Amino acid sequence: MQEWAEIRAMRAVQGLSIKEIARRTGHSRNTIRAALRSAEPPRYGPRARRASKLDPFKAKIHELLGDDAAISSQVIRERITELGFAGGKTIVDDYVRELRPVFSPPRTFQRTHYEPGGLVQFDVWEPSRPIPVGRGQARRGYVVTSCSGYSRAGAGALVFSREAPDVLWGMGRCLEQLGALPAKVVWDREGAVHRGGGLPTEEFAAFCGRLGLGWVILDPGDCQAKGMLERLHDFIERSFEPARSFANELDYQLQLDVWFRDRANARTHRTLRAVPAERLAVERRRMRPLPATMPDVDRRWVMRVPAQPYLRFDTNDYSLDPRLAGRRVEVRVSQREIVAVALDTGELAARHRRSFAKHLTLTDSAHQQALDRLRGDRRRRRDPDVEVRPLARYDRLIPA
């Protein structure tokens, strides 16, 4: 190409003769004349196609893909090798890669437009390391994450199970961090949210009903539909987790909140070319305000105070007032404390700070003192009263 251009420039610009051009370039005069006659740059013409070792087996490959479009190229190569194919792996892989979309067209996506306050996506993300929970223990934790479709503002809440009370509490805390209610929430088929067939669980439906939220439960395997959260999870793993240490679960939550406020929501979002916190401020004006109190998602049950006055929850034993032994109490477990109240009189049977460490016995000092008093009363009742008689009475009975 370069020589063709130089020959034409020597003739047109410098006015050199064919003989002089041939002397300078070393090409024959006929080559020079051919280059001057050609107004188009030289190029190689199409070459005759050489036969491939795969040609006799292409019909069989079509047949195999027609029966199962997901069949691997490795299996296809094994099948045609049995029929006499002697080629290598690359030639089969390249051909199957070009042919497979014909039999199994890939899924296509349209660009989604989000209205302010329209949707907030939710998911559960698992930290890479156990969370310290005190008493020298660390425990597997989960973070309920959220991301607004319009502003891309995110929030997260640490929980220690994927049961409905914990997941719904985390969902409520994320909404409080965002500061308003969207029109709909989006979930994948999380067990606490989805009960099968695309239908919500009773706990999730009750939670959304109290807040007036619509919901969208995604189809199975449709992770692309919540790609915003998948990218947020990746950002958490790359930006929040590295080089951090945590004293306990409260410290983890505090650091996570600060990271969302000062880093994730304060950065310029690469896709939006805008700051999520600024767009969230605009979005809140289009969203409904939060209620005065979020829906109650605490665990509740009724039990009778046993002779050994303790209740067990999450492998821990919490003391109850021993004076209420045999009576029924309602137990309420929140994310921060465990409370028990007598059903007949409303007396407080227990109030403990919830511990996420495991296999502990937690005894209130007042309960221990009451137990000691009751135990002393029982001992005193068991001791018999013995009459002490004067010795003179025995002297009269014994002859001198």
Q: What is the pLDDT along the chain (400 residues), one digit of tens a residue?
A: 888 888 889 988 888 999 999 999 999 999 999 888 888 887 776 677 788 899 999 999 999 999 999 999 999 999 999 999 999 999 999 999 999 999 998 877 666 788 999 999 999 999 999 999 999 999 999 999 999 999 999 999 999 999 999 999 999 999 999 999 999 999 999 999 999 999 999 999 999 999 999 999 998 877 667 788 999 999 999 999 999 999 999 999 999 999 999 999 999 999 899 999 999 999 999 999 999 999 999 999 999 999 999 999 999 999 999 999 999 999 999 999 999 999 999 999 999 999 999 999 999 999 999 999 988 777 666 656 667 777 777 777 777 6
Residue 131 and residue 245 share a domain: yes
Regarding whether 224 and 145 lie in a shared domain, the answer is yes
Residue 333 counted as domain residue: yes
Residues 172, 319: one domain?
no
Domain match, 170 and 228 both: yes
In a domain, 291, yes or no: no
CA distance to 62, 126, 167, 377, per residue, from 160 (Å)? 51, 10, 9, 43
Beta bridge partners of residue 353, listed in sequence order: 337
Q: Are residues 169 and 221 in the same domain?
A: yes
Give the list of residues 6+ apart from residue 17 with CB closer than 8 angstroms, or none. none
| Residue 246 counted as domain residue | yes
> In this structure, are strands 154-159 and 142-148 parallel, antiparallel, or unpaired?
antiparallel
Domain with 166 in it: 119-284
366 lies in a domain?
A: yes
Residue 297, classified by CB atoms within 10 Å of its CB into exposed (0-12), middle (13-18) or buried (19+), is buried
Domain membership flag for residue 292 = no
Q: Is the dihedral of CA 193, 199, 204, 210 positive or negative?
A: positive
User: Is residue 252 domain-shared with residue 164, that is, in the same domain?
Assistant: yes
On whether both 87 and 220 belong to a single domain, the answer is: no
Does the residue 9 lie in any domain?
yes
Is residue 261 located within the same domain as residue 149?
yes
Which of 255, 284, 313 is the endpoint of a domain?
A: 284
**Does residue 392 lie within any of the structural domains?**
no
Same domain, 147 and 7: no
Indicate whether 267 and 125 sit together in one domain: yes
Residue 190 falls inside a structural domain: yes
- Claim to verify: residue 306 and residue 182 sit in the same structural domain: no
Domain count, the chain: 4
Domain end among 284, 315, 335: 284
Whether residues 184 and 245 share a domain: the answer is yes
Predicted TM-score of the model (pTM): 0.75
